[in-house]
Amino acid sequence: MSLNLNAKSKQWYQYGNLTAPGVWLIDKAKILNAVQVEIARKHLTACPAFPASRVQKVIDKLPNSIVLDEFWEIEYKNEMIGGVLTKIVNSISYNAEFEKDWFSMEKLLSEINKSSANPYTQGSDEWLDWMLNKGYLKK
């Protein structure tokens, strides 16, 4: 099963905030909420084969924070604060085209339907281990 999110959907790593220079804290509660909204919107729980119990497990496997390097870009938005137009941090984006698929919300949601014995496609665990060892992601 694959959940196709529309183009306006956020990627899972965009749910969070900048906690220190170069460190993005992932907001897993907001990710869970977004996934639950998508599940309800598509009435997935009506299917007896849908593994609802795996949703939290998959989200728990995501890193708690991301160390921002040359592949990451901080996105800003303008807001009126005290009558002054102010540039504030809004989100982050990942710029390495060859790895964007791994970070997609659709990929995250598709992991929910995989068996608990092998929750990622072949090679994904090794890639994640490499990212963690390099310091790009923090647990």
Say whether pLDDT at 39 is over 70.
yes
Averaged pLDDT score across all residues of the chain:
77
pLDDT in tens, 121-136: 444 665 566 556 555 5
Question: In this predicted structure, what is the pLDDT of residue 43?
Answer: 87
pLDDT at 59 over 50: yes
Domain assignment present for residue 32? The answer is: yes
Do the beta carbons of residue 74 and residue 89 sit within 8 Å?
Answer: yes
Residue 101 in any domain: the answer is yes
**Between 66 and 106, whose confidence is greater?**
66
Percentage, residues of the chain above pLDDT 90:
33
Q: At 99, is the secondary structure helix, strand, or coil? A: helix
**Do the domain assignments include residue 5?**
no
Number of domains in the chain: 1
* Residue 7 forms part of a structural domain: no
* pTM, rounded to two decimals: 0.63
Residue spans of alpha helices (H) in 1-138: 28-41, 55-60, 100-103, 105-111, 124-134
Residue 43 lies in a domain: yes
Report yes or no on 73 lying in a domain. yes
Q: Which uninterrupted H or E stretch holds 67?
A: strand 65-67
Supply the pLDDT for residue 126: 59
pLDDT tens by residue, 76-115: 999 999 999 999 999 998 876 656 566 666 666 666 665 4
Domain membership of residue 126 as a residue range: 12-138
Residue 4 lies in a domain: no
